[in-house]
Amino acid sequence: MERHCTQILNSLPTAHRSDAYSWKGISRRSGVSDCQTRRTHRTRCSNSAEGNGASVPPRTRIFEDATKLVGNTPLVYLNKVASPSLAKIVAKVEGMEPCRSVKDRIALSMITRAEKEGTIKPGKTILVEPTSGNTGVGLAYVAAARGYKLILTMPSTMSAERRVLLKAFGAQIVLTDGSKGMRGSIQKAEQIIKSTEDAHMLQQFENPANVQVHYETTGPEIWAGAGGKIDFLIAGVGTGGTITGCGKYLKEQNPDVQLIAVEPAECAVLSGEKPGFHQIEGIGAGFIPKVLDVDLLDEVMKVSTKEAVEMARRLALEEGLLSGISSGAAVQAAIRIGMRPENKGKTIVAILPSFGERYLSTVLFNKLWRKDADFEEKMPPTWRQTSGFEQQESKEPKL
């Protein structure tokens, strides 16, 4: 790559060539890594060459398959919603993953690890997994790309969007009693495993690959993206893999980094309370997962469904970040931490686990659907679209 850049430089007029070389020297003296220097250097060289009519081949980057798209999600400052905070609040936007949630990471990690260990084989093994939704979507996406049949058990309270997405990827869905939460889904998955030949359960709540992928990717991405300037990490606890893996890595870089776990106020088992029904999908499983290292945690914060929903709506309206309910919970907790006087000027990173489009039929946005449906019924017949037989035959259901 450096040789290619040198060839481009040598093809430039002397004035541009010397300017590029002197700029490269300044970058190195300023402490930019050699890799960054070459990358930015190449961009500048290309721009200079194009400006002089030289033909410069574009950088080619074609991924081997869809699973190679996972990771490297952006960090972005929160501004309006974070105005009460004395600290800077940064969001890690996992809704930018290929299937729009942080669970894409663990789905790929668990399947890849099982393949390397020889416990599963494409076209032969039937994967079975209990999931609250996003892990299921991630698994369905990877299973489709790798050639696995997938059976997912999930609480009946999970959103309609998730169910449709899972079916779109070819997964089979088995719904369980919503009042039993993830416990009911886990029990059903175990029953299916016992009665199905060549079935294998990846067990996201126990699988070390869950923690490993966040230690190897998400944590380093946060540290590098923030330039090593991070004082708090805020993450909701579903399986516990995100905060455990990221937290372990970040504390190795700086032991003073504080880890704040977020759980539903209605199901605050980490706080020593009894499990209960809540509507923050993806967190608050009702038990303490095995992959969660509670000794790493510096604080556990309870956020109610109402607070999480309101903040998630504000993220869309005020920050342009359409995110899920658990994202609202994480940001709500981050603002509380940021309002403490002793945290003035510090940097808080909150993980936004998923994209909001997956929650259109939930408590987060279902009022918007209802208003649209009511408005549609009140419209004069002459205002309605009647452009085709199929459109006349179909009607959007009220949700």
Residue 326 is among the residues annotated as catalytic for this protein = yes
CB hemisphere CA count around 322 (13 angstroms): 9
* Exposure class string for 137-147: b at 16+ Cβ within 10 A, else e: bbbbbbbbbbe
Distance CA 367, CA 375 (A): 12
Residue 103 is among the residues annotated as catalytic for this protein: yes
Among the listed residues 326, 327, 346, 354, the single catalytic one is 326
> Would you state the torsion angle of the CA atoms of residues 95, 99, 103, 104, taken in this order, to the nearest 10 degrees?
-120
The residue length of the chain stands at 399
Alpha helices, DSSP H only, in 260-365?
305-314, 325-338
Identify whether the C-beta of residue 91 lies closer than 8 Å to the C-beta of residue 312. no
> Which of 24, 88, 92, 103 is an active site residue?
103
The 3-state DSSP class for residue 1 equals coil
- State the Cα–Cα distance between residues 111 and 120, nearest whole angstrom: 8
Do the Cβ atoms of 108 and 134 come closer than 8 Å?
no
Two structure tokens written together for 2? 């450096």
CA–CA separation, 83 vs 318, rounded Å? 11
Longest CA–CA separation in the chain, Å: 75
Return the closest-CA partner of residue 12 out of 56, 78, 77, 67.
Answer: 56
For residue 152, give the 3-state DSSP assignment: strand
Q: How far is CA 98 from the centre of its chain?
A: 9
Rounded distance between C-alpha atoms, residue 98 and residue 79, angstroms: 26
**Cβ distance 135 to 207 under 8 Å?**
no
* Residues classed as catalytic: 103, 326
